[in-house]
Amino acid sequence: MKAIINCLVILLLTLTLTSCEVVGGIFKGGVWTGVILVVAVIAIVIWALSKAFGGGRR
């Protein structure tokens, strides 16, 4: 029952929000916040890949 309610909420949000509102919300959140998050995620991925493939061994 809970899964059905969650699906209905997501469906309602996707039908009621326009793309302009979503983009406006992103810019209200701040472009720099997005940039910092993207750089952090890329850094974590690079670090994880270097650990997985043995980077940093001497």
CA distance 50 to 1: 43
Q: Which two tokens stand for residue 34?
A: 């997005």
- Residue 41: which domain range? 2-52
Q: Is residue 58 part of a domain?
A: no
The total domain count for the chain is: 1
Q: Is residue 37 part of a domain?
A: yes
Q: What is the dihedral of CA 6, 10, 13, 14, to 10 degrees?
A: -170
pLDDT for the residue numbered 35 = 84
pLDDT along the chain (58 residues), means of 10: 85 75 75 85 92 71
Q: Is residue 57 part of a domain?
A: no
pTM over 0.75: no
N residues, the chain: 58
CA distance 38 to 45: 11
